[in-house]
């Protein structure tokens, strides 16, 4: 199996400015992500950034860095710009490892790449994990995925899907309704799944993806992967072989990750 990793790393962040360079146990965060990535089976690891300060920091730990446009609306666009400059074949697999995932397990990176190589009908592969409590299920920041019996993604949503018909109305936020939903969740033999934001793409699909206009589903949920589903791309989504800790999105996340890595 042959695959490459590209790590999009944008300097500007509304919630955590300068995020790639925040210090975690004596290293910038982007270095932690890079070091996890090179422990995988990838033949090439590239950091894609829009900022010279990030590039300079990456050169200090001898990473392969590509400076990209600062005008990209998403990490996928930044990813595809890097791919255009490489000599990858259309069927080459590229894994998008988020630049704010300093605890990403290398075996999970290998898993998502191997899945795409194995499932020839899929254009994209990604991962998920079981949701362990009702609070996470009803949290719109935790993206849920609905899959078929063959691990094909049917839909991604910020809502609590599939919705149990035994739950009170979604509009009912009373203490009684909330307690009722939690009780049903805890006593259910059904599993809900949180989407994990790591993707493997075939180069041909990645090149098509950036040409498609934003779809109404994507705009409504603010979820890029819905653009692929809306354009008929099969997304394979398997349960991750290892726990994937939360990424660093806020100052609170940073405090938690620092505590883990100190």
Pair 200, 163 in one domain: yes
Which of 103, 134, 161 lies at the terminal end of a domain, its last residue? 103
Q: Return the closest-CA partner of residue 244 out of 134, 120, 116, 103.
A: 103
Q: What is the mean pLDDT of residues 27-46?
A: 96
Q: Are residues 98 and 176 in the same domain?
A: no
- Please tell me the predicted confidence (pLDDT) of residue 213: 95
Whichever domain contains 15, its CATH number is 3.90.550.10
Residue 124: the pLDDT is 97
Q: Is residue 65 located within the same domain as residue 125?
A: no
Dmax (CA) of the chain: 59
Q: Is the pLDDT of residue 141 over 80?
A: yes
Are residues 148 and 85 located together in one domain of the fold?
Answer: no
Average pLDDT along the chain: 93
Does the residue 252 lie in any domain? no
Distance CA 134, CA 118 (A): 34
- Regarding predicted confidence, which is higher, 172 or 57? 57
pLDDT at 262: 79
18 and 138: one domain?
no
Residue 258 lies in a domain: no
Indicate whether 130 and 181 sit together in one domain: yes
Q: List pLDDT tens digits, range 96-138.
A: 999 999 999 999 999 999 999 999 999 999 999 999 999 899 9
Position with higher pLDDT, 168 vs 47: 47
Last residue of a domain, one of 80, 103, 126: 103
How many structural domains are present in the chain? 2
Whether 44 and 124 map to the same domain: the answer is no
Do 214 and 120 belong to one domain? Answer: yes
Taking only the tens place, the pLDDT of each residue in 207-249 is: 999 999 999 999 999 999 999 999 999 999 999 999 988 788 8
Q: Say if residues 107 and 76 touch (Cβ distance below 8 Å).
A: no
**pLDDT per position as a tens digit, 40-65:** 999 999 999 989 999 999 999 999 99
Q: How far is CA 10 from the centre of its chain?
A: 15
What is this structure's pTM?
0.92
C-alpha triplet 28, 51, 29: angle, nearest 5°:
15
Same domain, yes or no: 1 and 80:
yes
Residue 260 lies in a domain: no
Query: Is residue 20 pLDDT above 90, yes or no?
Result: yes
Neighbour-count burial for 23-42, b at 16+ CB within 10 Å, e otherwise: ebeebbbbbbbbebbeebeb
Flag whether pLDDT at 15 surpasses 80: no
Q: Are 116 and 96 part of one and the same domain?
A: no
User: What is the rounded average pLDDT of the residues 140-169?
Assistant: 94
Domain that holds residue 69: 1-103
Assess whether 239 and 111 both reside in one domain: yes
């Amino acid at each position: 199996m042959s695959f490459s990793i590209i790590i999009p790393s944008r300097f500007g962040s509304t919630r955590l400015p300068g995020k790639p360079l925040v210090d975690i146990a004596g290293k910038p965060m982007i270095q932690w992500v890079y070091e996890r990535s090179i422990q995988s089976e990838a033949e090439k690891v590239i950091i894609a950034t829009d900022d010279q300060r990030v590039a300079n920091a990456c050169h200090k730990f001898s990473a392969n860095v590509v400076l990209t446009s600062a005008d990209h609306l998403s990490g996928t666009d930044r990813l595809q710009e890097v791919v255009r400059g490489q000599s990858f074949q259309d069927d080459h697999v590229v894994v998008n490892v988020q630049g704010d995932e300093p605890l990403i397990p290398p075996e999970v990176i290998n898993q998502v790449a191997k899945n795409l190589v194995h499932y020839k009908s899929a254009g994209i592969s990604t991962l998920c994990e079981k949701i362990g409590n009702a609070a996470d299920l009803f949290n719109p920041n935790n993206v849920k995925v609905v899959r078929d019996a063959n691990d094909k993604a049917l839909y991604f949503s910020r809502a609590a899907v599939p919705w149990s018909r035994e739950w009170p109305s979604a509009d009912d936020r009373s203490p009684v309704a909330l307690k009722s939903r939690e009780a049903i969740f805890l006593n259910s033999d059904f599993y809900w799944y949180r989407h994990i934001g790591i993707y493997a793409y075939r180069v041909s699909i990645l090149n098509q993806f950036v040409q498609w206009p934003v779809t109404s589903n994507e705009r409504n949920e603010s979820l890029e992967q819905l653009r692929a589903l809306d354009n008929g791309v099969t997304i394979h989504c398997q349960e991750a072989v290892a726990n994937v800790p939360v990424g660093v999105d806020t100052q609170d996340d940073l405090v938690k990750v620092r505590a883990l890595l100190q």
